[in-house]
Structure 1
Amino acid sequence: MRFQQSCRMAVWLVIAPLLLGGCSILREFGPVVEVHTLDAGEAIELKRGDILTRGKLSDATTQTIRVAALDAQACAKPISADCVEALAAVTGVAADRRLAALSELWLAQAQAMKPGSEQQAAWLETIRYAYAYLFFGDHTPGERAFEDRQTQVRDWYNYAVERAATGMFEVRQQMSTQLPAQTRWNIAGWELQLDMRSARLPGSTAVPAELLPASSLSFRGLRSLYRRDGFGAELVAVMPDEPLTSAPTRDGHPAAKRNQQPLPWSEMPAPSMTILLHPDGDDLDSVLHTRTVRLTVHDPYVESAIMLRGQRVPLAANFTAGYGLWLARANFNRQSLRSLLGREGGIDRPHVYLMQPYDPNRRIIVMLHGLASSPEAWVELANEILGDEALRQHYQIWQVYYPTNMPIALNHAMIRRALGDTLAHFDPSGQAPASSDLVLVGHSMGGVIARLMVSSTDQSLVQLAADRSRLTPQQIKRIDPMLRFEPFPHVGRAIFIAAPHRGTSVAGGRLGRWMAGFIRFPVTVLEELAHTLAPNAAASSHESLGHIPNSVDNLDENDPFVRAAADFPISAQVNYHSIVAQADPEVALVDSDDGLVPYRSAHLPGAQSEKIIISGHSVQQSAAAVLEIQRILREDIALREAHFMQP
């Protein structure tokens, strides 16, 4: 018996390794498939995590590699050319799975490479396979509309286009060659066809100074970032600087006196654009073997979608990045203070900034900031309008940046001229929709100037100048156009925000007088004014002009100018609205103020609406004021559409 047991044990010891080696069930002594419970975060990360978001291949790509009988660990290495070649040659895997995985593998390779031609080639391969998946795979983009995998592949395409385009731009900058609107050149073994026919760069500039990915820009000081999901790389083209100051020439005379005065307008110095790269080919095989790619540039304000391979494809866009970058780099806060004090480095005349390339079919919103301020005053309002799809389709924003130390009458005259010259440049015939029904939005002193622009005057200012100055009748006659005016043509609506139409006691108080004492006018302005009054006098005749009231003087509630201007009639053709700030809600409205401007000064009889907002004087930055202005603009759109629908 003991012998038999020993024999059985020996036999078992011989056959057990064979059984355990050939049967995984016996080897593991457990089930083939195990299940684990994931929380919501783990489940979403498993579905959507990829090489861009977590630094390793997506779960779907890893599964495709396994199904293709490839080594998943080897393929997960940053640079694995053998894995890419092997997966590309596999025929037993569905095209969608294979193309998506190849796009991510090439992206992983590109990220691991140093900048140069090899990396550029890897970006282009990423684009090739993503493009092939999106438009030549087993399904159309519309059929995959709700698939996470398509969103991943689109993101890989967009990112690779962003990196490839900025890399190509850097190469172009190093070459220092001017590229025409449509040309061809070679890069990383590919032939690039550059098509910029849809691009709209400011002015006559052919090439920007910088090309920045919008995704790399983060902003503080903005409540919202507005963009549109879609196809393509979101980029910002930074244009060369154009100084607004009239710098002296070598002989010491201001440039303005030598006919070198800058233009009174400029288009957005950092416009947003969307770039696409299209591998050549009309079918999957030709796309997978082409070495030609076409780069197209699109204006997101003009094109929201394009037709591509029979599909209507929404274009990606970023409407905040260019605007935010411009404000961040402009140093308006310092320059506006220098302008107020009349110091070097400030500005001495108004300048009109177009927040996007001029569009003849969008109506214009003109924004006028207040005392000691700049376009930074409109950071929230402008961003919200740019980000509002309905408003963006109907309006374009022009911001007037002006020296706030000047007498209000002089600033008003110069702003009128700057706006008129800008409109005449972009629409010489005056027939474009953009030139009709302008909307003026003015805050504080900008609101006073906006009111003058929609008002008509009589002899009162001329008589005031004769009574209060040492000017001769001939000199007063020369400045008569500044003192006698009619409403600026084609303004349909105006919004006055915390505007001291009847002045404020603060300007005439101790603080106001102290502040006014620091204000100086630039020599260029004094010389131009002296030349206007006495064309044949010497250049130094400005010293005999005597005291000229500055902007703070004009805002004193007892100043004759502001008292006269408050009674000028507003054009019957203009619909106007008031937004009034009330600092203390416990104070009766009629006795209240915003810390600077009393209600009785900001209130305008006859306004279509008057919105009271609990806020300090900088109410234009509040969310409540922005919402009110958006309401007014939407109402304006609805009224115009109803008017045009009438028989």
Structure 2
Amino acid sequence: MQGRTPRWILHILVMTALLLTGGCAMVGVHHIAQKDYTAQRRSDVLNTRTLSDSTLQSLNVVALSRDECAANFTRCTNTLLYSDGLDNERRLSALAELWLALAMQSERDSPDGSVSDKALNAYLQSARYAYAYLFYTARHPGERAFETRQSQVLAFYNYATQRAVMRFFQMLPTLGTDWSRAPIAGWDLLKPDSDVYLGSGDRIPRELIPAEGLRFSGLRNIYRRDGFGSEFVAIGATPAFSGPWRESNYVPLTAVLEFPGDTLQSVLDTHDVRVYAKNPYLDSSIPLDGQSIPLAGNFTAPYGVWLAQSGFAGESLRALFGRGGLSKPEVWLMQPYDPNRLTVIMLHGLASSPEAWINVVNEVMGDEQLRRTYQVWEVYYPTNVPVAVNLAQIRQALDNTLHHFDPSGTAPASHNIVLIGHSMGGVIARLLVSSSDDKLWSIVTERPGLSTADKQKLRQRLAPYLQFSPMPQVTRAVFLAAPHRGTPVARWKLARWIAGLIRLPLTLLEEGKNITDAMQGKNASSTSVRVPNSIDNLSDSDPFIKAASTLPISPTVHYHTIVGVYKSNAPLTETDDGVVPYASAHLDGADSELAVPSWHNVQDAPQAIIELRRILRLHAAALHCTPPENGEPLACATPSSTSH
């Protein structure tokens, strides 16, 4: 019939429709924003608390979903472990993330937020699968160096290690010392291997703080080294003073978990786990599976925690005004003593403390070359007493410290020391490398007709303060904003008012009375000469500072100056840093001088810190020093002196 569609055409149309709707799925494509692409690539259980795209794809391959894994975790992990279709890298990395997700959820579910046995087991499972992925698959870690997935798995391992080690640390006190294997959460903890030393003979921390996530106000940079292991701040017991020195009891610790085994299957079967506690200052790598693996480390966190808990700010002001606190100089080691590193000694200024060096020390410890070459000591001293008294006491404290740690005086740490002093600390540092001979006796006023015996008595009293020679161990010094010739600011009304509030120690006042008596002989009056305090000494009219400014620096010492320039529109010779005139801070004969646009606290200026790092590199290069690796001794071609 005309107008009717032939039946065979209808059959073709129906079959075409069926093919289009059922047999051929259409594929679409669209672009996503760069930020969404990056977030998707980096998203994982640590960053977003959701499984990574890589793990979700691995689940898809074995016909699993996120919800199915949440409903039956054991079935999910067993399916991943034993199903075909996945290579070992995809299988193990997915298992590491799934176990980590379970561990984190178990920890969140804990009523007190602690790591329960269930959570600990899951963290160890995660760490073991990550460990197996890294070291027991067909490719070595170096072959995956540019792969995002390896970075994720390394992060899984490091975080799982952190949480497991915190739980192990909590149980250590219950184990005593005579043990080799301890059961916990279905695993056997093997006795840890540690080279961490916390000072004063202590090797067991009293507190362990994860370094991840710590941030510090006042510190410009966080210096750390990427690598294998979880970073901690280990805090030892507060050491008692047996002398003027104190070794640091805040040290970096990097923890590594090892799962013993020679093959992939033996690692997956083991329930033994050993903790390695390594000092990243000594160890830049760790041997695992026949490979040398870069070791992670955080070098800022221990220093930052120490300063945050120190209470220096209030104590230094109390000491300045003689209201308690510090009474004699102390030598603080920023790391436990290392005989194989060169020593840098820093002296702060008036009304200050080791906090003055907060960014300087952090930048030195953060620099890989300098960290491996130097150790930092900071002299903490009361800034209210006269310069001459501090000079004598600081010299004694340093001599005692050096002799305590190196009685024979043969260690690299005892030679080629670098002194760095700021402000009044710079004046003291210069006098530590200067010769007084008899040039300071002219400031002593004695009564006419004093007997020979009384003159001898007077000399004996004053000799510790007026008779000194350079420290032979020091071969380089840096003076920052140091008023070598005093400052007129010390004569201002405000400075005189502050000086009037300062109380000197009773022992110093008694010593002043004894010196007065010796100056006057047998006819001593009851009125003693006023003992000058530190602010008096810093005046440009003070007899001691004027005489001391002429003393020669040892010819074996290289020295450098860094000066602040507060008014940049004037000639350099007429400038100052707001406190110290350039004419007072300048020293003829210096190896270098750098003027930095800065107020008096020039030591904190970035340009000054860069200059200090340059000088320290120069010092090591002049000695032809080779920085040590993994505990090896420092090698210097010139062990005891530098050449001009």
TM beyond 0.5: yes
Pairing partner for 2:298 from 314, 318, 328: 318
Distance 2:511 2:326 in 1: 14
Does the C-alpha gap of structure 1 residues 57 and 416 become closer, same or farther in structure 2, counting only changes over 3 Å? Answer: same
2:612 aligned residue:
629
Distance 1:366 1:483 in 2: 23
Q: Give the match's secondary structure for 1:327.
A: helix
**Percent of paired sites with the same residue:** 47
Pairing partner for 1:191 from 188, 192, 195: 188
1:42 aligned residue:
36
Partner deviation per Cα, 1:166-224 (whole Å, 9 max, x = no partner):
12212335x3x6447x8432221211123344222222223222101111311121111
Pairing partner for 2:81 from 66, 76, 88: 88
Pairing partner for 2:21 from 17, 22, 26: 26
Distance 2:515 2:304 in 1: 40
* Residue 339 (str. 1) matches residue 319 (str. 2): yes
Partner deviation per Cα, 1:309-359 (whole Å, 9 max, x = no partner):
122210001111111111111121111111101112x11111111111221
Distance 1:331 1:488 in 2: 31
Pairing partner for 2:433 from 454, 471, 474: 454
* Residue 269 (str. 1) matches residue 249 (str. 2): yes
How do 1:516-595 residues align onto structure 2 when only pairs under 5 Å count? 516-523=499-506, 547-595=530-578
Pairing partner for 1:411 from 390, 396, 401: 390
Distance 1:563 1:306 in 2: 56
Does the C-alpha gap of structure 1 residues 152 and 589 become closer, same or farther in structure 2, counting only changes over 3 Å? Answer: same
Partner deviation per Cα, 1:461-518 (whole Å, 9 max, x = no partner):
3453454999975254144233211101210100000000000111122121111111
Distance 1:147 1:467 in 2: 80
Partner deviation per Cα, 1:104-137 (whole Å, 9 max, x = no partner):
0000000001321111111111111000000001
Partner deviation per Cα, 1:66-118 (whole Å, 9 max, x = no partner):
112223332257x8333123222324420111000000000000000132111
Does the C-alpha gap of structure 1 residues 81 and 267 become closer, same or farther in structure 2, counting only changes over 3 Å? Answer: farther
Which residue identity lines up with residue 119 of structure 2 in the other structure? Q
How do 1:255-266 residues align onto structure 2 when only pairs under 5 Å count? 262-266=242-246
Distance 2:75 2:21 in 1: 36
- Offset of 1:391 from its aligned partner? 1.2
How do 1:135-174 residues align onto structure 2 when only pairs under 5 Å count? 135-173=135-173
Partner deviation per Cα, 1:6-33 (whole Å, 9 max, x = no partner):
x9999999x99xx96xx7x5149751x3
* Residue 512 (str. 1) matches residue 512 (str. 2): no
Which residue identity lines up with residue 131 of structure 1 in the other structure? Y
2:221 aligned residue:
224
Q: Is the 8 A contact 2:509 2:531 kept in 1?
A: no
Q: Give the match's secondary structure for 2:430.
A: helix
Which residue identity lines up with residue 89 of structure 2 in the other structure? D
Does the C-alpha gap of structure 1 residues 480 and 524 become closer, same or farther in structure 2, counting only changes over 3 Å? Answer: closer
Distance 1:224 1:455 in 2: 36
Distance 1:220 1:559 in 2: 39
Of 324-333 and 453-462, the range deviating more from structure 2? 453-462
Q: Is the 8 A contact 1:212 1:236 kept in 2?
A: yes
2:287 aligned residue:
307
Does the C-alpha gap of structure 1 residues 526 and 201 become closer, same or farther in structure 2, counting only changes over 3 Å? Answer: same
Distance 2:594 2:192 in 1: 49
Distance 2:513 2:84 in 1: 84
Does the C-alpha gap of structure 1 residues 524 and 291 become closer, same or farther in structure 2, counting only changes over 3 Å? Answer: farther
Q: Give the match's secondary structure for 1:335.
A: helix
Q: Is the 8 A contact 1:343 1:522 kept in 2?
A: no
Distance 1:630 1:587 in 2: 28
TM-score, normalised with respect to structure 2 = 0.88
Unaligned stretches of 5+ in structure 1?
244-260, 535-542
Of 194-203 and 459-468, the range deviating more from structure 2? 459-468
Does the C-alpha gap of structure 1 residues 319 and 533 become closer, same or farther in structure 2, counting only changes over 3 Å? Answer: farther
2:632 aligned residue:
none
2:356 aligned residue:
377
Partner deviation per Cα, 1:142-168 (whole Å, 9 max, x = no partner):
111111111111111111111111122
Does the C-alpha gap of structure 1 residues 160 and 531 become closer, same or farther in structure 2, counting only changes over 3 Å? Answer: farther
- Offset of 1:524 from its aligned partner? 5.8
2:631 aligned residue:
none
Does the C-alpha gap of structure 1 residues 67 and 588 become closer, same or farther in structure 2, counting only changes over 3 Å? Answer: same
Does the C-alpha gap of structure 1 residues 277 and 305 become closer, same or farther in structure 2, counting only changes over 3 Å? Answer: same
How do 1:210-249 residues align onto structure 2 when only pairs under 5 Å count? 210-242=207-239
Does the C-alpha gap of structure 1 residues 599 and 10 become closer, same or farther in structure 2, counting only changes over 3 Å? Answer: closer
Partner deviation per Cα, 1:576-604 (whole Å, 9 max, x = no partner):
00101111011222121111101111010
Does the C-alpha gap of structure 1 residues 93 and 208 become closer, same or farther in structure 2, counting only changes over 3 Å? Answer: same
Distance 1:528 1:89 in 2: 84
Distance 2:290 2:514 in 1: 65
Which residue identity lines up with residue 437 of structure 2 in the other structure? D
- Offset of 1:299 from its aligned partner? 0.9
Which residue identity lines up with residue 26 of structure 1 in the other structure? T
Partner deviation per Cα, 1:519-565 (whole Å, 9 max, x = no partner):
1123465568889999xxxxxxxx98652211111101111111111
2:58 aligned residue:
64
Q: Give the match's secondary structure for 1:561.
A: helix
Q: Is the 8 A contact 2:512 2:531 kept in 1?
A: no
Of 198-207 and 327-336, the range deviating more from structure 2? 198-207
Which residue identity lines up with residue 432 of structure 1 in the other structure? A
Distance 2:120 2:466 in 1: 62
Q: Is the 8 A contact 2:516 2:529 kept in 1?
A: no
Which residue identity lines up with residue 101 of structure 2 in the other structure? A
Pairing partner for 2:369 from 376, 384, 390: 390
Distance 2:203 2:393 in 1: 30
Q: How many pairs are equivalent?
A: 609
1:111 aligned residue:
104
Pairing partner for 2:484 from 479, 501, 504: 501
Distance 1:467 1:76 in 2: 91
How do 1:419-498 residues align onto structure 2 when only pairs under 5 Å count? 419-465=398-444, 467=446, 473-474=456-457, 476-498=459-481
Q: Is the 8 A contact 2:196 2:203 kept in 1?
A: no
Distance 1:533 1:106 in 2: 78
Task: Name the Cα RMSD after superposition.
Answer: 3.1
Does the C-alpha gap of structure 1 residues 530 and 69 become closer, same or farther in structure 2, counting only changes over 3 Å? Answer: farther
Distance 1:231 1:490 in 2: 39
Unaligned stretches of 5+ in structure 2?
518-525, 626-635
Which residue identity lines up with residue 438 of structure 1 in the other structure? I
* Residue 202 (str. 1) matches residue 199 (str. 2): yes
